Amino acid sequence: MNKLKHQEPVSAAWAQLGSNLSAEILAEAGFEVLVIDMEHAPIDMSTLITLIQATKGTDCVPFVRVPWNDMVWCKRVLDAGAYGIHIPYVSTKEEAEYAVKSCKYAPQGFRGIAGSQRAVNFSLNKSEYYERANQDILVMVAIETPEGVDNIDDIASVEGVDGIFIGPSDLSTSMGFLANPAAPEVQSAIRKIEEGTKKAGKFLGTIAPDIHTAKKLYARGYSLVYFMSDATDLAKLAATSVKEFQAEFQNNHSQKDRTNK
């Protein structure tokens, strides 16, 4: 995505339910990036393909958060048709270099090549894909440990790392503040990552609970913010709707019971 390479704002949503229908809704709604979560969500390779297919015919680009910084996972996910890779827990320059090489064909990397997979349209456009894959596929590494914070300048300097993702909950937890990104020490670490990423000319990514919080992050220089999830947003809407129902009808029912007595 050229917008990310130019550090422009891009809208993104999580696909965490493993549902091709909810993924299709998000893509059709106009999100520019759909991030399919294979690290924490119950999504296998067969399901992954259906979620990527849900973006077909839209302007939504499929990204995948792989389970780990692993060449096999990166290869399989890219062969399935992903155009962006979100790699968790990268803490050193060497790990960042390994991540890039896992996503690039030789001579830039050691991604295995196959001519029968979905990414090359089952052999129908192999040459075109091979020529453009190293250039087109985006590699974003996540900083989620104090070691990663200390090494941000080296990590961000790696050629082929297009963006840096800040995982606030994992970072805060690894720093001793369980899922508490608001802790001053964590906020200081986040600022250090932001500065190192911007200095290297790479795009910044993170998560937000809603579009209102995302707007503030975009204003701070972030380019990619995941501000909706098919899982958590459905859960929040469901809980809110039930509470409104209970407040309206169950409370009225209780009052009527007391009146009748």
**Catalytic residue ranges:** 40
Collapsing DSSP states into helix, strand and coil, what is residue 115?
A: coil
Angle, CA of 230, 37 and 48, to the nearest 5°: 95
Evaluate whether 84 touches 140 at the Cβ level (below 8 Å). yes
Interatomic CA distance for residues 110 and 177, integer angstroms: 37
Give the HSE-up count for residue 74: Cα atoms under 13 Å, Cβ half-sphere. 27
Residues in the chain: 261
- Closest listed residue to residue 142, CA positions, set 15, 33, 39: 39
Cis peptide before 107 (omega within 30 of 0): yes
C-alpha angle with apex 75: 69 to 77, nearest 5 degrees? 85
